[in-house]
Structure 1
Amino acid sequence: MTNPVAFVLLDDARLPATEVLIEALRRRHPGLLWGPAAAKMQSDNARLIRAGDHLIAIALISAPMPFEQQLWQQASWIWPDAFQAVRRHRAHLMVSSMGSAVDEAETAELSTIESTRLTTAVVGGLVESQPGCLGVAWSGKIGRSPEMWLEQSRSAFAPYPDQPFALWMEIVPYRSGKTIGAFTVGLSAFTGREIEFEVDGLDQHTVAIRVAQLSAYLIGNGSDDGPESGAVFEPDSEIDHRVAVLHRNSRFNIGPVISFSSLDDRCGRIRTFPIIPAAIARNHPLLVMLGKVGLFDPAQAENQIRLRPDHYQSEVRLESFDRGISQALSGMIATDKYAEADTNARRALASGDMASARSSLQPWAEEVGQLQTAAKLGLTLCDLFLFMPAPLRSP
């Protein structure tokens, strides 16, 4: 498990007064044991405090955080003064959970959510008790105002659905064609996957609410209790069509996601494209032979993939994809076994024995079918791309 780290932006380089911080934490979260760690564990540039049976480290960095344009741009959507706070800060504190507070004690390791809750509580106490707190960057990805932290961190230990998940993750809206979608940043720390939500016919507010509800549920209940890949949600009061769930990679290069998308093509967004293009079908010797004996037809459903063109920059096929298809086909015939089968098939065709020709080439037709199936799966899961993915577009 990787412990979450919070970065507290300061207008001046100073460590918190331990007694004042602990007093604030006891007042804000009276159900947990708070206290200073042993004196031998303290240093000039760090403080350790006890949170129950665990330690929380607070380290002072006497320099600003490295500037990340995307982080603060996203933060500014709900915190208009985000860029101003970043420009003003001169130092920052790093806050994270550590090991056991008791020497030689067998304290259970914190889970991600437990570590998150403890760190959140301490950061909230810091914002309340430390002068000059300008903002917080959670895990270096989520920027939030001190006012939001002061209020929502009081619920650090609240159960689902009241946990302050908005401090821990971002919801990023985007547009694909006429459809408004959104993906999360930070949810994967809890679930191993982000959410990518793209359902036709919803406005940006409704999309954000849906993604927030799904995120809160997954954080509170765990990914094992979430929707399985291949599940289908029926229409409800806001969505008038079926929604498909798929565990795949993100087309925005944010890693594995739980994808929610319209199963029914209500807006005419889906088109069908060949996996093996006509040019390769006409010219590759294996496909030419299979076509002669009726074992390959590029127009068959097995060779088609349904894609949304508005997910891509254009409908110009990627050379790398077609080159990979050609290389895979060539690898199938680069054997003595195929050379013999090809010779036998040609002789059978010359004598009018179509059945024997088909029988000779049947194993390679099956290999081509497996290639098509693998390519279709890769394209569906965004492990492969037929076209260049479109960049993120703001709604």
Structure 2
Amino acid sequence: MAVNLTNDDLEENLVNAENDIDIIFDGETYEYKEKRKKLEDLKIQKHSWSLSEIYQKIKADTVNLAPIYQREEVWSAQTQAQFIESLFIGIMIPPVYLAEIRPKNPLESIKYEVVDGKQRLISIFKFFKNELKLSNGLQYYGDIFLNSTYSDIEAKYPEEIERVLSSVIDLYVIAQNADPEIKYDVFARLNQGNIKLTQAELRKAIYASELTNIIYREVDKIDTNPEFEKAFTKTDRNRFRHLNRVYQSVAYVEQYRVAQEENKDSIMFADYNSRPRDMINLVLQKYQSSDTKKLINIDDISKITLITYQLKKELHENPVYREIESENELPRTTEFSIDCLIPFYSEISNPTCQKQILEKLYDNQDYLKTFERSPSTTSMVNKRLGIVYNEIFE
């Protein structure tokens, strides 16, 4: 049974450039049996490392505390001190989750990135590195540990330090060869705390590649340009929606070219199936592999990023397009419009050309009708693409 969505529902879901949660259109459902089969490849190994081992692994960069998708240090000095006190008390610490990163060179060592537990590991590392002085908030050791560093305590209470160094924490490692779709779900399920990772952060964790690194750098570079200050709101940037928007643009370019490679006269997106999330993940996964044929030149990422920002800026700032949405009670059209325009980024590289095309599209009733009902379905997405193609080439 199809899910009926109100305009408010669509507005909420489309702000993030795609649906935050899967919305099922046209009666399509997931094949649960197939997904359960993929679980067979999910391997989560349990390790028990002493605090001494954890410190040494972080120091040697075997454990990466700062993958791009992770949050910065957010615990206050007092919270960190209270956590360290918990180690001396002997309180059981919740397990830490790591993602396995296997090197291309089999002679090199396996490394790990923190998925859940970064603040705990930062506190441990800073304490043993003498970068954390135990401050206010200590409830059991305040009389002897207050304002003390690791070295201070080790000098006066070596037995306490030895006991803590030998204590262990359980760590669960998600194997790298797990199916990316299942791995994505594992990350999402772990990400149920007060500060949730965004889709962009999850993707950077799961689909890390040369492509995602370049996209991150290009977005970071163009985002400092005052010209595009209003292309994305502060909330968008805090939620990494600008990064996710470029992931999405790259995916739509790639899948348009895939369809054309199969049939040069094809005006459609390959493997869309009414699920933008799945298509984007498919493309990012594809660019992790060294064996898969890729249709986007890495050098073109800067162009795709720039034109995405240009389109976003024009659609976001131009009151004409906002008024059309309001008068016609249409769902937010910005992201859908970028999706069907970005495959032709070479043809619309000039901002004047972009404005002319947008004016034609938003004056085209057939184009506007594609937003009125189930705008994310395969048929509507490809219909918009065809209209854009005709406006550009005919």
Instruction: Give TM-score, length-normalised by structure 2.
Output: 0.29
Which one scores higher on RCO, CA 8 angstroms, separation ≥ 6? 2
Instruction: Give TM-score, length-normalised by structure 1.
Output: 0.29
Structure having the higher strand fraction is 1
